[in-house]
Amino acid sequence: MRHIKLIIALVVLVVGGAALMRWSANDPSVRGQDANVETRGTNTAGMPGDAVEPAGTPQPGSTATPAGTSGANAGGDAAFVADAAGMNATETALADLAQRNATDTAVKRYAAELHRDHTAAARELSALAARKQWAYPAALDILQAQALQGLQRAEGPAFDRAFVEAMVASHERAIQDFRTAAASASDAELKAFAAKQLPVLEAHLQRARNLQ
């Protein structure tokens, strides 16, 4: 049980916790730099799936600019783009792992739904970033890789429980983040993207709670 709680805590930190704190506080230490952070490919041997590199993604060293640099809330927009990209990449990779490792068929079906929806969201956000020449993370970072590796250590029904609990907690955090962006993002299209994704995230949360 203690091991499962540690896995859940790590997944929540990666998927939503740090993102929410940076966005809500609009921390000057990350203002204007979150979406420009160097992306780090971390797909090591034994890790599920490849590093996520969406089509049209600006690569490190490109002329891409932080999201919403012309707006008053530029730091918040940049942080949200980076964190939403990381959330989608992590959720997709975790869902891929669950489709292979879950023992409960309902959990497998839920994982397939997560994979489909977060892949679509990642595609939409990366296309928006490409159109606006915003920087966009091209791969999982080290913490996201650790979340995947941590969940890999669970097996059987313990894996199912850890995955579902992590999805409940991470979607609760992500919904808060997306609600804030839908209300406060400087860029109108980014605000619309966040608002569009909210019902999807809320449905994911409800499904996860039903599986508890």
Is the confidence at residue 153, as pLDDT, over 60? Answer: yes
CA distance 147 to 11: 5
The secondary structure of 85-118 as a DSSP string is HHHHHHHHHHHHHHHHH--SHHHHHHHHHHHHHH
- Report the predicted TM-score, pTM, of the whole model to 2 decimal places: 0.70
- Rounded Cα gap, residues 103 and 95, in angstroms: 13
Q: What value does the mean pLDDT take over residues 26-34?
A: 36
Query: What is the pLDDT of the chain when averaged over all its residues?
Result: 75
For residue range 71-117, list pLDDT tens digits in order: 334 568 988 999 999 999 999 999 999 999 999 999 999 999 999 99
Q: Is 99 exposed, middle or buried (0-12, 13-18, 19+ CB in 10 A)?
A: middle
Checking if the pLDDT of 48 tops 60, the result is no
For 77, what's the count of Cα atoms within 13 Å in the CB-facing half-sphere? Answer: 26
| Radius of gyration for the chain, computed over Cα atoms and rounded to the nearest angstrom | 16
Per-residue pLDDT, 39: 34
Burial of 98 per CB tally in 10 Å (0-12, 13-18, 19+): buried
Residue bearing tokens 């489709």: 99
Contacts of 127 (CB under 8 A, 6+ apart): 56
**Among 15-24, 109-118, 149-158, 172-181, which stretch is predicted with the lowest mean pLDDT?**
15-24
